[in-house]
Chain A
Amino acid sequence: MTNALGSSGATRLSGRLRFLGLALAYSLLVLACLWSLGAEGDLSLGRNPLANLAKTMAEFAHPSFLDIWFGEARLEYRSDDGTLLRVENRQQVEADYLAGLARAAWTTIRIATLGSLLGALMALPLAVLTARNLAAPRALAWAAKAVLDVMRSIHTLVFGLVLVGIVGLGPTAGILAIGLHSMGTYGKLFAEAIESLDMAAIHAVQSVGASRTQVFFNAVWPSVLPQFVSSHLYIWEFNIRDSTILGIIGAGGLGLLISEATSLFQWGRLATVLLVVIVLVGSFDAMSRRIRRALS
């Protein structure tokens, strides 16, 4: 008995020492990062960060869409000697931009929706193979798990860049990129849903003499379906956010407008685009959260 007590004390001590060691290693890593970046002179905030910040913020505070109502109806561009070069209706220009923004937002929604569905469909058979309680052949389970892990570890943007080279610019590359990356996450969540099945309940349904199909529809399906729908909504929500950036690499949608506005330093337009992104993601979040809560 005393032996056991002593050893548990030693285990606790060594556990604490190990945690202390990890904390020390972490602090060292943080310090090394800071020090090396500082030594290389890369830890600067630029020449006059405060002035730049103020200027950018001022433009952000004036989102471009406000010009639809408050912009000049007749903005004249003149050369230095006063000759009239071009007349622009700011209200009309910004209204057109907003219409383009709406189209881009619709493209983003389409990419996220179809990409998520594609990912879910591809992940389902792999999830069935990886779920431990279904006991698929070991080799197949490992292979499926490997595929899912690889997909999850490659970023959507990387998939997008590669796919743009294969299928060309446009939403198709975006859909495939979203599908391939989120497939990994879907597979993991679906497998967890299958693993959390209550086997006692399934056994009970079998024991009344139900056939295999009856067991599936009366015990497996009602337990698993709500979880599938819930994880689908969750990842879909994620992908709406993810696909807003895909346009940067030419895969269509809002990202194209983001990269355009940032390249031209049009912070007012970027503010408009970001507002649309926030509204889009926020409303989808709220909707999906409500449905998921109703499902639990």
Chain B
Amino acid sequence: MTGRSIVLKDVCCQIGGKTILDIPTLTVAQGERVAVIGHNGAGKSTLFKLLTGFMRPAHGELQVLGRSLSASLDAKQWRLMRQEIGQVLQGLHLVGRLSALDNVLIGALGRVSGWRSWTRFFPAAEIQRAEAALQQVGMLARATARADQLSGGERQKVGVARMLMQGPRLILADEPTAALDPTAAAEICRLLVDAAAGATLLTVVHNPALLPVLADRVIGLRQGRVAFDLPTQQVGDRQLVALYKPLANEPPAHWQLDLPVPVQKEKRILQ
């Protein structure tokens, strides 16, 4: 199974007759760290939805962790597959009324079944694992705090701990640092990369400064097509400017002229 984590062949996705994703071929090897970048609506989230089965392609072949998604899978097979895919989404995806520890234990739902998973009386071994996961992200002291009382950064750390608990082979992180301040964003990225050791890590990011931390390979999506697919060190200003260049049918936003150097953008705001 150490071969390929994700294989896409001639995958095409349409909504209301409009093509939103069209990828002739794309392969991600097991253990690879890949970042997906592109403007809003470029197809990044669509790609993630395809991989988790929350959306179906119009045609094409899709393989995730050795399973072909094009064949019709039943609900149980989808669940088995989702258990192996860890997701870290933009904040606010914890169950607000449960404690941080209970939220981490949700990651164990794939392994625990029956009344224990309904009443949240998890086996002692799972609770220990959850505490270890919280320790790893530095949140053990807040284990009993309710999720809706945590700060944005703390929530995201609990999200990472839940993913650790799940022990997935493929990790999908959709803008894991959105709505976080730069320090917290850097910390979450570091935790995410540590947590992803051995697994495939696929990230959507908007801040080019985080690319070297999160990925060895960068895929640029533009209008549903792969614009470039390069090792991180080869991605420079030229590629980024071309990728974020305004689309033909929309006027250029003033900040887009400043890309890709984020510092300049901040300067402009400060003036």
Contact = CB atoms under 8 A, between A and B. Distances in A.
Interface of A: 198, 200-201, 203-211, 213-214, 217-219, 222-223, 226
A198 B93 CA distance: 8
B109 A223 contact: no
Contact of A214 (B98, B118, B166): B118
Contacts of B79: 209-211
Given A201-B94, A218-B120, A222-B95, 19 more contacts: A198-B95, A200-B92, A201-B92, A201-B93, A204-B87, A204-B89, A204-B94, A204-B159, A208-B83, A208-B87, A208-B107, A208-B162, A209-B110, A210-B106, A210-B109, A211-B109, A222-B97, A223-B97, A226-B97
Nearest to A202: B95
A200 B95 CA distance: 9
B93 A208 contact: no
Contact of B82 (A198, A200, A206): A206
Contacts of B87: 204, 207-208
Nearest to B166: A208
Nearest to A221: B118
Given A208-B82, A208-B166, A218 B96 contact: no
B56 to A, nearest CB: 16
Nearest to A206: B82
B205 interface: no
A183 to B, nearest CB: 26
27 contacts: A198-B96, A200-B93, A201-B92, A201-B95, A203-B93, A204-B93, A204-B94, A204-B159, A206-B82, A207-B52, A207-B85, A208-B86, A208-B107, A208-B109, A209-B79, A209-B110, A210-B117, A217-B117, A217-B119, A218-B95, A218-B106, A218-B118, A219-B106, A222-B95, A222-B97, A223-B95, A223-B96
Nearest to B163: A208
B110 A210 contact: yes
Nearest to B79: A209
Interface in B94-108: 94-98, 106-107
Contacts of B119: 217
Interface string B164-192: 00100000000000000000000000000
B213 interface: no
A207 B84 CA distance: 10
B97 A208 contact: no
Interface in B16-62: 52
B126 to A, nearest CB: 13
A218 B166 contact: no
B80 interface: yes
B13 interface: no
A217 B112 CA distance: 13
Overall SS of chain A's interface = helix
Nearest to B109: A210
A209 B95 contact: no
Contacts of B81: 209
Nearest to B96: A198
Given A198-B92, A201-B93, A208 B117 contact: no
A146 to B, nearest CB: 32
A207 B82 contact: yes
A205 to B, nearest CB: 6
Contacts of B110: 208-210
Given A205-B106, A208-B82, A208-B109, A214 B162 contact: no
A219 B113 CA distance: 15
A210 B92 CA distance: 19
A201 B96 contact: yes
Q: Which of A213, A214, A217, A223 has the most CB of B within 10 A?
A: A214
Contacts of B109: 205, 208-211, 214, 218
B98 A222 contact: yes
A222 B95 CA distance: 8
Contacts of B159: 204
B136 to A, nearest CB: 18
Q: Which of A210, A211, A226 has the most CB of B within 10 A?
A: A210
Nearest to B120: A218
Given A208-B109, A208-B166, A210-B106, A219 B82 contact: no
A210 B84 CA distance: 12
A223 B147 CA distance: 12
A208 B92 CA distance: 16
Contacts of A218: 95, 98, 106, 109, 117-118, 120
Contacts of A200: 89, 92-93
Interface in B108-151: 109-110, 113, 117-120
A296 to B, nearest CB: 10
Q: Which of A198, A208, A219 has the most CB of B within 10 A?
A: A208
